[in-house]
Chains A and B, each alone.
Chain A
Amino acid sequence: MTVIQVFHYEQRMSVTLQCPGYPEDTLRSLADRLPCRETQLKSLLSLMGQPDQYSYPSFFIYGHRATGKSHVVLSVMKDLELPHASVDCVECVSSGLLFHQVLSAFFGPDAAALLPRCPSLSDFVRLYKQMSSNSPATQTRYIILDRAERMRDMDFSLLPALLRLQELVNDNVTVILLSEIVWEKFRPNTGCFEPLLFHFPDYSKVELVQILSWDHHPSYTPELYASYINILLGVFFSVCRDLRELRHLAALNFSKFCEPLEKGEAKESDIHKLWKNIEPHLQRAMQTVYLREVSSVQWEQQQMDEKEATTLRVLSAHAHIELPYYSKFLLIAAYLASFNPARTDRRFFLKSHGKIRKTNFLKKHEKTSNHLLGPKPFPLDRLMAIFYSVVDSRVAPTASIFSQISSLVTLQLLSQVGHDDQLDSPKYKCSVSLDFILAISRTVGFDVVKYLYDFL
């Protein structure tokens, strides 16, 4: 069944949230607790059918981060008290863990303990069958797999098998996959049972306001909070639509917003005044807290300290790295080797290179800026050759020079290309930026720009 069919299915439903087989007041409270997801809730319930009926074998629910996928599904499960097993696939480093969690959720930990040491899919199916024959499902059992995209890295047969688990175990069980990416990226090339696709759209701005206004502060009126949310979204909506992040930011900055009210400088109706007070503050928050340059605790402390002048030391402010003298030159040499074509080494590092024009000396593809193309791999020999011509004093090629290369690799300033076990002539790439290398070369008094082919 495709998405269009789901929509047809949806339209046939009655507008009020009524589903046979489920208690009505629970449904009503559920609908209240899930604002702006009424349509999704309705269609989900109707897809699930009555608790004792067999449901569709597998659903696939997708949508962006923080669009309420897991929240809706899990609240439905919890409120309607349906038997379910909820598993986060990030945690399942092996399929055995997944089986374990499912079995222990349905049949208790004793059943899960029966799994052999390294359970295969058939072990799981056999055990499930055995257990369900003892206690057959009176209601549909649900297996909810969050972050299902991780399943693609697991055993290739796992996903197709789970999609038709109902057939395999002969029990009333439904698998719900939750993911941030679309089904097309999942489909194994061997083909499989197609699950029901089900999309959770992003919240619109109006909906975000509605949801965010929910957690208003008890000591202030909801109207005030709603206006605060409006101001907040005015600043952040263009960069962030993640509900979770917005809630976090709203909670962090609300005390600042209320400051004039507490001091008695403004009344709740003076929205404009409040706006003037909070707006620059929010702008600053966008540059720091949102990017996690400043931790939220530090941000709060700064608000308490109430000093605008104190500039917080943001994470990216300390970009300076202290390196041993030769390591600096090794890094510079690596940078030169990465961004200069090997043919130009003669021009830069040999004394009597003659005159080589840039234009007719180079091949066509070398004419584009090497900085646009990114770093190129270079062999160790070339690195050392450049290093010795760059460094001003005579350095013996000692083992400690070579060990510095490997420590640069562990610091992620260089990266090794190819296999680690290539001892003969390993290849490296330099993975630092131009600004970084400029700063480094300034400390050793070396003009790196003079040696870069791009800046000739």
Chain B
Amino acid sequence: MFFLKKSFLTKPGCFVFKSASKKRKRQLGVGDDDNGSDRFRIGQKLWETVQMNTEVIQDQLNKKVLDSLAEFIKKHGLGCSSDVWRQRASEIPTAALMLGVNVPDHAMTFRSLCNLLQDSVTPFVVSVHAKECAVIPVKLLIQKVLEQLMGSGVSVDEEKEDDTALLQRTPCTISALCQWYKTVTKKCIQVSPERKENLTNNDLPQSLPVVVIFKDFEAFNSQVLQDFILICSRYTQELPFVFIFGIATSPSAIQHRLPHSVSSLLCIEVFHSLSCTQHLASVFDKLILNAQFPFKLSSRVIQVLVGVFLYHDFNVQNFVKGLQFSMLEHFNSQPLSLLCCQKQEALLSAKTLSKQNVEQIRHLPSFMRYVETQEPQEQVRLLTNDEHVKEVCQTLLKNLHKYHKNYYPILQCLHSLTSSLPKFPLGKHIRELHVSCIEKNLWETEEYDSALQLLRILAKDELVAALRKCAETLKSANTKRMQNALQQLEDFIGRLETLEEDSSGNGVISAKMEYQKTDLFQLQKTLLEKESRRTKRMNSFEVLRSQVMDFIDSLVREYLTPAEFQPLNEVCYYSSSGVLRHHPFYYLKVTDHSFRLTRFYDECS
């Protein structure tokens, strides 16, 4: 309970919590366990890693589009003084930023955009949200813009009797903003306060643009937008506006929302941000397909999370939240999650396991399976001697870490080999391959067979290219076994490349066939025979190729075993997808709408 409370009070991100803990406590006997705070510490550390990593990923992904946006704004800030600009002075430069429909993810993008612009281009950045200014008269929107730019000294609510507001009352108009802008920029040039120093000292005459970011363009009332654009276009000479429209659907939304008389006042350029599926893929790479990250998800949980992403919301943040939530659940419900951390730390805590923990280890299904495979004498020791269990536990943990270290490079190898095959028998994305690998023995599936068959007919140059990619991924892995595999692979590549173009006639079937009057069955038979005879005579390339494939196959069989078969996998793997699916956090509850639906069907028939 202590753990529950602490973690949920410190994390403002998660709020709803079904308190089924009592039942769970009885099941697992956590009640008088004292490693809660350790688990909390480990969990919190991991949580922070997740948070940090997602932010880093987001920054990396957005960097390109944000930089080009900043470039665009800078360019227009400069262009303001040139002659060409004067001719169409009333055109407002506008960037249409295509973000995709996963609206909640945009908040982070806009935040970093704001920061970037404020740091490198102009201090005058305003971002407005449709909800804040959806009312028909454009007043609220102008007010928002003014408030954010000039601070809170704007008189907004005319009915409000406020002494402080009366003192420093500025009418809520763009012309007031104009006045303010003039004084501020003058001050900027003369005094150059430290905040804007780096901006102003290099080239003073450049006027700083005023950037207005419309976060969700579609949600804005089109009348409000039109009015705002009309008003702003009247002041472009004095106030260099730049608009950024955050568009979720497609750029044609602009034309749908604005009439020609208004859109002709804009000078629109389109910017594309990365698609959310690419975003998900990089999050996946960083947080799930990473041996350094000790917390793992079982195949079912991954399927639930990815399913929610693909079928419901396209929302990467939600995916990360789901991951974090399962982490919380794991550390909360599994007392042995104490061992779910980096190798050294885990080994240390394995030495100091409490009696209870040892008992819990004995009850782990994977450990029981392990015990069954041992000699009877060893079995007795494992079941009676706590110290022995602790020692065994250490070696098992080492093995588990080793397994992970070997698993991911081989997984990537297999993916790079199979991702270019026609029809993607093992899935287009590495996550699909991962799921099927940890779910069951991959080599027993039909898809794997068909993939290998396809691989066995690859041409030489394709094969070499694919193998080179594999070698690249193996290079980054630093275990001994992987280095071994790498050496063998490079050996194969070398042999493939030095292979002489020999025996061109060998593989070709002799074109001469004795045509006789036969029925269809006979013909088929002879053809099949010929075929089988041909396959027997392979040239040296084909021999080598099948060797390579056998080698790959052996790698897969050795390293891509399902995680379930690893003893102590419960320490790292979170597997209760049911909890995840039905938790209020995920809002996947079945609503009572189905009742009304049945009524509807009744009326229909």
A contact residues vs B (CB 8 Å cutoff): 65, 88, 90-91, 93-94, 96-97, 100, 117-118, 245, 248, 251, 291-292, 295-298, 300, 313, 315-316, 318-327, 345-346, 350, 381-382, 384-385, 388, 396-404, 407, 410-413
Q: Please name the residue on chain A nearest to B314 by beta carbon.
A: A324
Q: Given A118-B158, A292-B260, A402-B591, does the pair A385, B312 have CB atoms closer than 8 Å?
A: no
Distance A300 CA – B84 CA, assembled complex (angstroms): 10
Distance A404 CA – B308 CA, assembled complex (angstroms): 12
Q: How far is the CB of A379 from chain B (nearest CB, A)?
A: 9
Within 8 A of A (CB), among B245-291: 248-256, 260-261, 263-264, 266-270, 275-276
Instruction: Report the count of interface residues on B (CB-CB < 8 A).
Output: 72
Q: How far is the CB of A127 from chain B (nearest CB, A)?
A: 16
Q: Mind listing 21 A-B residue pairs with CB under 8 Å?
A: A65-B261, A94-B139, A292-B260, A295-B269, A298-B269, A316-B251, A316-B252, A318-B250, A324-B309, A324-B311, A324-B312, A325-B310, A381-B596, A381-B600, A384-B600, A397-B597, A398-B587, A400-B587, A400-B588, A401-B312, A411-B218
Q: Say yes or no: is B304 at the interface (Cβ < 8 Å to chain A).
A: no
Please determine whether A397 and B591 come into contact, CB atoms closer than 8 angstroms. Answer: yes
Please determine whether A295 and B98 come into contact, CB atoms closer than 8 angstroms. Answer: no
Q: Say yes or no: is B231 at the interface (Cβ < 8 Å to chain A).
A: yes
Please determine whether A411 and B593 come into contact, CB atoms closer than 8 angstroms. Answer: no
Please determine whether B587 and A403 come into contact, CB atoms closer than 8 angstroms. Answer: yes
Distance A280 CA – B593 CA, assembled complex (angstroms): 59
Please determine whether B591 and A324 come into contact, CB atoms closer than 8 angstroms. Answer: no
Please determine whether B601 and A297 come into contact, CB atoms closer than 8 angstroms. Answer: no
Q: Which 10 A-B pairs have the closest CB atoms?
A: A93-B139, A315-B251, A325-B311, A295-B267, A118-B158, A399-B587, A400-B312, A398-B588, A381-B600, A251-B87
Please determine whether B590 and A96 come into contact, CB atoms closer than 8 angstroms. Answer: no
Q: How far is the CB of A424 from chain B (nearest CB, A)?
A: 10
Q: How far is the CB of B165 from chain A (nearest CB, A)?
A: 9
B252, B254, B256, B586: most-surrounded residue (chain A CB, <10 A)? B252
Cross-interface CB contact of A399 among B172, B234, B591, cutoff 8 Å: B591
Q: Please name the residue on chain B nearest to A295 by beta carbon.
A: B267
Please determine whether B101 and A407 come into contact, CB atoms closer than 8 angstroms. Answer: yes
Please determine whether B158 and A94 come into contact, CB atoms closer than 8 angstroms. Answer: yes
Q: Please name the residue on chain B nearest to A180 by beta carbon.
A: B261
Distance A401 CA – B87 CA, assembled complex (angstroms): 51
Please determine whether B597 and A292 come into contact, CB atoms closer than 8 angstroms. Answer: no
Distance A236 CA – B544 CA, assembled complex (angstroms): 69
Q: Say yes or no: is B27 at the interface (Cβ < 8 Å to chain A).
A: no
Please determine whether B308 and A400 come into contact, CB atoms closer than 8 angstroms. Answer: yes
Distance A93 CA – B146 CA, assembled complex (angstroms): 15
Q: How far is the CB of B139 from chain A (nearest CB, A)?
A: 4
Q: Say yes or no: is B458 at the interface (Cβ < 8 Å to chain A).
A: no
Cross-interface CB contact of A345 among B219, B586, B604, cutoff 8 Å: B604
Please determine whether A402 and B593 come into contact, CB atoms closer than 8 angstroms. Answer: yes
Q: Please name the residue on chain A nearest to B584 by beta carbon.
A: A399
Distance A451 CA – B88 CA, assembled complex (angstroms): 50
Contacts of A291 in B (CB 8 A): 255, 260
Q: Please name the residue on chain A nearest to B226 by beta carbon.
A: A90
Contacts of A402 in B (CB 8 A): 591, 593
Please determine whether B254 and A315 come into contact, CB atoms closer than 8 angstroms. Answer: yes
Please determine whether A411 and B248 come into contact, CB atoms closer than 8 angstroms. Answer: yes
Distance A34 CA – B568 CA, assembled complex (angstroms): 90
Q: How far is the CB of B154 from chain A (nearest CB, A)?
A: 13
Please determine whether B269 and A385 come into contact, CB atoms closer than 8 angstroms. Answer: no
Contacts of A401 in B (CB 8 A): 312
Please determine whether A88 and B137 come into contact, CB atoms closer than 8 angstroms. Answer: no
Within 8 A of A (CB), among B497-555: none
Q: Say yes or no: is B142 at the interface (Cβ < 8 Å to chain A).
A: yes
Q: How far is the CB of A269 from chain B (nearest CB, A)?
A: 27
Q: Say yes or no: is B594 at the interface (Cβ < 8 Å to chain A).
A: yes
Within 8 A of A (CB), among B133-180: 137-139, 142, 158-159, 161, 166, 171-175
Distance A331 CA – B268 CA, assembled complex (angstroms): 29
Q: Say yes or no: is B377 at the interface (Cβ < 8 Å to chain A).
A: no
Q: Say yes or no: is B216 at the interface (Cβ < 8 Å to chain A).
A: yes
Q: Say yes or no: is B477 at the interface (Cβ < 8 Å to chain A).
A: no
Contacts of B93 in A (CB 8 A): 297
Contacts of A315 in B (CB 8 A): 96, 251-252, 254-255, 268, 270
Please determine whether A410 and B269 come into contact, CB atoms closer than 8 angstroms. Answer: no
Distance A287 CA – B309 CA, assembled complex (angstroms): 39
Q: Say yes or no: is B57 at the interface (Cβ < 8 Å to chain A).
A: no
Distance A402 CA – B593 CA, assembled complex (angstroms): 10
Q: Please name the residue on chain A nearest to B266 by beta carbon.
A: A292
Please determine whether B593 and A292 come into contact, CB atoms closer than 8 angstroms. Answer: no
Please determine whether B230 and A90 come into contact, CB atoms closer than 8 angstroms. Answer: yes
Q: Mark B214-254, 1 if CB is under 8 A from A, else 0.
A: 00101100000001001100100000000000001111111
Q: Say yes or no: is B100 at the interface (Cβ < 8 Å to chain A).
A: yes
Q: Please name the residue on chain B nearest to A119 by beta carbon.
A: B158
Distance A325 CA – B248 CA, assembled complex (angstroms): 16
Contacts of B270 in A (CB 8 A): 313, 315, 318
Q: Given A321-B101, A388-B597, A410-B103, does the pair A296, B88 have CB atoms closer than 8 Å?
A: yes
Q: Please name the residue on chain B nearest to A387 by beta carbon.
A: B597
Q: Given A292-B266, A385-B597, A398-B587, does the pair A412, B308 have CB atoms closer than 8 Å?
A: no
B101, B139, B216, B256: most-surrounded residue (chain A CB, <10 A)? B101
Please determine whether B604 and A350 come into contact, CB atoms closer than 8 angstroms. Answer: yes
Cross-interface CB contact of A323 among B101, B142, B251, cutoff 8 Å: B101
Contacts of B87 in A (CB 8 A): 248, 251
Q: Please name the residue on chain B nearest to A379 by beta carbon.
A: B600
Please determine whether B604 and A91 come into contact, CB atoms closer than 8 angstroms. Answer: no
Contacts of A320 in B (CB 8 A): 250
Q: Say yes or no: is B449 at the interface (Cβ < 8 Å to chain A).
A: no
Q: Please name the residue on chain A nearest to B143 by beta carbon.
A: A93
Contacts of B216 in A (CB 8 A): 410
Please determine whether A326 and B312 come into contact, CB atoms closer than 8 angstroms. Answer: yes
Cross-interface CB contact of B604 among A298, A385, A407, cutoff 8 Å: A385
Q: Say yes or no: is B558 at the interface (Cβ < 8 Å to chain A).
A: no
Contacts of B314 in A (CB 8 A): 322-324
Contacts of B604 in A (CB 8 A): 345-346, 350, 385
Q: Given A400-B308, A411-B249, does the pair A381, B263 have CB atoms closer than 8 Å?
A: no
Please determine whether A412 and B255 come into contact, CB atoms closer than 8 angstroms. Answer: no
Q: Say yes or no: is B91 at the interface (Cβ < 8 Å to chain A).
A: yes
Please determine whether A407 and B231 come into contact, CB atoms closer than 8 angstroms. Answer: no
Q: Say yes or no: is B313 at the interface (Cβ < 8 Å to chain A).
A: yes
Distance A346 CA – B87 CA, assembled complex (angstroms): 62
Q: Please name the residue on chain A nearest to B72 by beta carbon.
A: A297
Q: Say yes or no: is B589 at the interface (Cβ < 8 Å to chain A).
A: yes
Q: How far is the CB of B169 from chain A (nearest CB, A)?
A: 8
Q: Mark B302-330, 1 if CB is under 8 A from A, else 0.
A: 00000011111110000000000000000
